[in-house]
Amino acid sequence: MNYNFNFSKEELLDFLKHEASVPFSGWDFSYVRGRMVESPLEWGYGSFIKWVIPHIDSILDMGTGGGEFLSTLQPFPKHTCATEGYDLNYPIAKGRLEPLGVKVIKHESDDNLPFKDEEFELIINRHESYSTEEVFRILKKNGFFITQQVGGDNDKKLRELLTGKSKGEYDLWNVNSTSRDLQIAGYKIIEKKECYPTTRFFDVGAIVFYLAKIPWAIPGFSVEKYFNQLYEINNIIQEIGYLDVSNHRFFLKAYKP
């Protein structure tokens, strides 16, 4: 279904400015549910984690967001911690996780995590930055590091349509370069996967909401700056009913020998 309407340019501008200003926290994209749809990945990020949880005594969730995923892993190991650096998400994570016995810490620097050497048996990281060496330091021997990352080719079509450029700041961020960095730091790679799923946008307002909430996708993005390009994207969607954008995800499971 096409959720768009035949706006005038002035009406479209007002609509998009509103979509960009809608409040957002906890990485909750429910506001655009049904207006953007993502195809599934080729792996289950939580499957191995869920299996190993009953057999360990310590876990760290890096970049927990609002604690949505971590809260599904109950019952927790006796030592369970989470970090979160985004100001809006931090109090949400504390409110959700600390009553469950999870210690939630404000994340300040990838290079200086407030944890002891070899403190955790399992460290998980979904779409969060990290220091390879610092994670290695706080991971116990024979402990696991599991990460799912957004690759450098993510949202390439949006970048091309809006900026005219196909190259981005993180072009070399992919499963092979990351795997190599982990091995150099001393990890052993158990599993690595990479895929390019699709997000289908059914209206340009959903695209604006998405880009306004993840500003690193198009640095300096604003409706006013890119309105002419957004107007053309709206025309594309009006013609065919949607816009498909290729994503880039990769997954790594490693351990510290």
The DSSP annotation for 69-121 comes to TGGGGPSPPSEEEEEE--TTHHHHHHHHHGGGT-EEEE---TT--SS-TT-EE
Q: Is the pTM of this model over 0.75?
A: yes
Render 228-240 in DSSP notation, one character per residue.
HHHHHHHHHHHHH
In a domain, 3, yes or no: no
Domain count, the chain: 1
CA–CA distance from 56 to each of 12, 48, 52, 137 (Å)? 53, 13, 7, 18
CATH code for position 166: 3.40.50.150
Is position 224 within any domain? yes
Domain that holds residue 98: 9-255
**pLDDT of amino acid 1:** 43
Whether 2 is in a domain gets the answer: no
Bond into 23 cis (ω within 30): no
Please identify every stretch of the chain with a pLDDT value under 70, giving residue numbers as ranges.
Answer: 1-6
127 lies in some domain: yes
203 lies in some domain: yes
Q: What's at 77, amino acid-wise?
A: P
What tokens appear for 99 in the block? Answer: 């009553």
Nearest alpha carbon to residue 222 among 11, 9, 17, 8? 17
Beta-strand ranges (E) seen in 110-157 are 120-126, 139-150
Judge whether 1 lies within some domain. Answer: no
Digit-coded pLDDT (tens) for 26-39: 778 999 999 999 99
Residue 77 covered by a domain: yes
Q: Is the dihedral of CA 23, 19, 1, 244 positive or negative?
A: negative
Per the domain annotation, does 138 fall within a domain?
A: yes
Q: Find, among 118, 81, 98, 252, the residue nearest to 183 by Cα.
A: 252
Contact yes or no for 230/16 (Cβ under 8 A): yes
Tally Cβ neighbours within 10 Å of residue 10.
8
- The predicted pLDDT at position 5 comes to 55
